[in-house]
């Protein structure tokens, strides 16, 4: 610190160009004066503080628009968050599954277009979202509370009975596979459309080793018309009176 470096003349000239002496050499100076060298420490401004200005409305607006755009873009090209969908232009889950299946299982486009395979994929999603909380992912239900779907007559025996049950629900004591359950199954008439209900019915008839045939959206539509007069949940006796397949005219 005590040594005094000799400034080159060009640097000294630079400083004569400065007009405002208060701003002299904020980061550097070429002084030969020991006191001035120490000033390089003293002249330093205070450490930075933070002001308290609020965020302006315009900026909040810009942020809002950006977020809105992000949401729209994500909604348009989200690919259903499905690991098998590679084409961001796929519009719906089913169309995406078809495209994704085609890209994923190259050489087997026939399998991708199989309506039952597509229905099973959709059915699994519907089941997971709506049914699994009671009947469990395994379809085994919960002992004493929710009846199992695996190897259950209500699922496998009659297409008409199954769809009637799904459309309007059930309540009161029911015997399933030898055990009595006394709960309430909600009606799904309004929540699920024909395609979703057909898909979930097909799914529970073919998953977990069940061997029932598929059910089509047309069959569900026909059942809706047939059972339209039913306004409240079925009891066991009413359900057992419904039997046979759904015939689409």
131 closest CA partner among 200, 184, 191, 207: 200
DSSP string, 182-228: EEEEPP-TTTS-HHHHHHHHHHHHHSTT--PPP--HHHHHHHHHHTT
The correct pick among 61, 70, 109, 137 for binding other proteins (CB under 8 A) is 70
Structure tokens at 167: 């459309």
Q: What is the DSSP letter of 27?
A: S
State yes or no: residue 85 binds other proteins (CB under 8 A).
yes
State yes or no: residue 248 binds other proteins (CB under 8 A).
no
What end-to-end distance do the CA atoms of the chain give, in Å?
Answer: 103
d(CA 232, CA 224): 14
Closest distance of CB 115 from other proteins, Å: 23
Q: Is there a contact between 130 and 197 (Cβ–Cβ < 8 Å)?
A: no
> Which residues inside 87-126 make contact with other proteins, applying CB under 8 A?
87-88, 90
d(CA 213, CA 163): 13
The correct pick among 33, 34, 68, 69 for binding other proteins (CB under 8 A) is 69
Structure tokens at 85: 């969908």
The correct pick among 1, 106, 225, 237 for binding other proteins (CB under 8 A) is 1
Cβ distance to other proteins smaller for residue 44 or 114: 44
How far are the Cα atoms of 188, 210, 212, 221 from residue 162, in angstroms, in the given order? 12, 14, 11, 14
179-185 and 170-176 strand pairing: antiparallel
For residue 183, list its beta bridge partners: 172
Closest distance of CB 129 from other proteins, Å: 18
State yes or no: residue 21 binds other proteins (CB under 8 A).
no
Cβ distance to other proteins smaller for residue 59 or 184: 59
Phi-psi domain of 114 (left: phi exceeds 0; alpha: psi -120 through 50; beta: other): beta
State yes or no: residue 208 binds other proteins (CB under 8 A).
no
**Helices 217-226 and 159-168: angle between axes, nearest 10 degrees:** 70
Cβ distance to other proteins smaller for residue 73 or 109: 73
Closest distance of CB 51 from other proteins, Å: 4
The correct pick among 33, 34, 62, 193 for binding other proteins (CB under 8 A) is 62
The correct pick among 16, 35, 46, 229 for binding other proteins (CB under 8 A) is 46
Closest distance of CB 20 from other proteins, Å: 8
The correct pick among 35, 41, 178, 209 for binding other proteins (CB under 8 A) is 41
The correct pick among 33, 34, 68, 77 for binding other proteins (CB under 8 A) is 77
Q: Which residues of the chain form contacts with other proteins (CB under 8 A)?
A: 1, 5, 7-8, 10-11, 14-15, 18, 20, 23-31, 37, 39-55, 59, 62-63, 66-67, 69-70, 73-74, 77-88, 90
């Amino acid at each position: 610190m005590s040594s005094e470096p000799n400034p080159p003349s060009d640097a000294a000239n630079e400083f004569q160009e400065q007009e405002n002496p208060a701003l002299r050499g904020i980061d550097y100076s070429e002084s030969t004066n020991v006191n001035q060298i120490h000033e390089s420490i003293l002249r330093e401004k205070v450490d930075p503080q933070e002001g308290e200005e609020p965020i302006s409305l315009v900026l909040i607006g810009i942020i809002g628009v950006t977020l809105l755009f992000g949401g729209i873009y994500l909604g348009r090209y989200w690919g259903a968050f499905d690991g098998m969908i590679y084409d961001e232009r796929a519009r719906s889950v089913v169309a995406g599954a078809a495209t994704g299946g085609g890209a994923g299982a190259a050489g087997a486009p026939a399998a991708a277009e199989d309506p039952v395979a597509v229905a099973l994929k959709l059915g699994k999603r519907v089941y997971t979202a709506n049914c699994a909380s009671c009947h469990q992912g395994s379809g085994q239900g919960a002992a004493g509370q929710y009846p199992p779907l695996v190897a259950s007559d209500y699922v496998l025996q009659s297409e008409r009975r199954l769809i009637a049950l799904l459309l309007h629900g059930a309540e009161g004591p029911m015997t399933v596979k030898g055990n009595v359950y006394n709960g309430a199954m909600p009606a799904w008439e309004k929540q699920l459309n024909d395609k979703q209900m057909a898909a979930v019915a097909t799914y529970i008839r073919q998953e977990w080793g069940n061997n029932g045939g598929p059910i089509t959206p047309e069959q569900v539509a026909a059942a809706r018309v047939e059972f339209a007069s039913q306004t409240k949940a079925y009891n066991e006796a009413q359900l057992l009176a419904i039997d046979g397949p759904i015939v689409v005219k």
